[in-house]
């Protein structure tokens, strides 16, 4: 009811930043959605919430393929984990702490890929997931050690 930005345009603008985060799913067109519904396969849809007068993406809805009903929700961290597992991320950052010093490190993701290998042993099913990423150390708060040495980077 207020004048200003149209909510759908705002959401479209947020999707433009997908290359900067692993918490936004790839856009799904209505044609692709129809295909998922007809195939009977489960899928995720980006969840949109209103918080503090702003609309934002927050997690995803899980749609069960056989029933075509909402099965639950993934939070932002779970969406990020799934993005890493399937290797579909286009960018983002990973905040971590050095094991030796406890100091903050920020890794900026430039690309990622993964390979999932299933193992079936009777009724037991397991997966090996190999994830590779290229990026750069964008913030380094560690005062000891040289961030340009291979020994430091491997650690």
Kindly tell me if the per-residue pLDDT of 94 is higher than 90: no
Q: Where are the domains of the chain?
A: 1-86, 91-155
**CA nearest to 59, candidates 47, 45, 42:** 47
| Higher pLDDT, residue 56 or 74 | 74
What's the pLDDT tens digit per position in 102-153? 888 888 899 999 999 999 999 999 999 999 999 888 777 666 666 667 777 6
Q: What is the C-alpha to C-alpha distance for residues 62 and 153, in angstroms, rounded to an integer?
A: 37
- Quote the pLDDT of residue 112: 92
Which ranges constitute the DSSP H helices of the chain? Answer: 7-15, 30-39, 76-86, 150-154
CATH 3.40.630.30 corresponds to the domain 91-155:
no
Q: What is the mean pLDDT of residues 32-45?
A: 90
Residue whose structure tokens are 């209505």: 30
Within 10 angstroms of residue 45's Cβ, the number of other Cβ atoms is 14
Q: What is the pTM of this model?
A: 0.74
**CA nearest to 61, candidates 45, 80, 76, 78:** 45
Q: 17 by DSSP, 3-state: which?
A: coil
**CA nearest to 93, candidates 32, 19, 144, 31:** 19
Q: What is the C-alpha to C-alpha distance for residues 111 and 120, in angstroms, rounded to an integer?
A: 30
Confidence of residue 71 (pLDDT cuts 50, 70, 90): very high
């Amino acid at each position: 009811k207020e004048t200003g930005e149209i909510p759908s345009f705002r959401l479209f603008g947020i999707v433009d930043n997908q290359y900067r985060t692993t918490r936004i799913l790839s856009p799904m067109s209505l044609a692709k959605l129809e295909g998922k519904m007809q195939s009977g396969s489960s899928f995720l849809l980006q969840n949109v919430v209103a918080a503090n007068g702003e609309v934002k993406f927050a997690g995803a809805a899980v749609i069960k393929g056989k029933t075509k009903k909402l099965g639950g929700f993934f939070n932002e961290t779970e969406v990020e984990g799934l993005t890493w597992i399937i290797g579909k991320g286009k960018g983002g950052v990973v905040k971590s702490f050095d094991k030796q010093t406890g100091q903050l490190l920020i890794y900026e993701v430039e690309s990622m890929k993964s390979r999932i290998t299933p193992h079936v042993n009777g009724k037991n099913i397991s997966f090996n997931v190999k994830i590779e990423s290229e990026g750069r150390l964008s913030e380094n708060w560690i005062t000891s050690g040289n961030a340009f040495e291979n020994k430091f980077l491997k650690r």
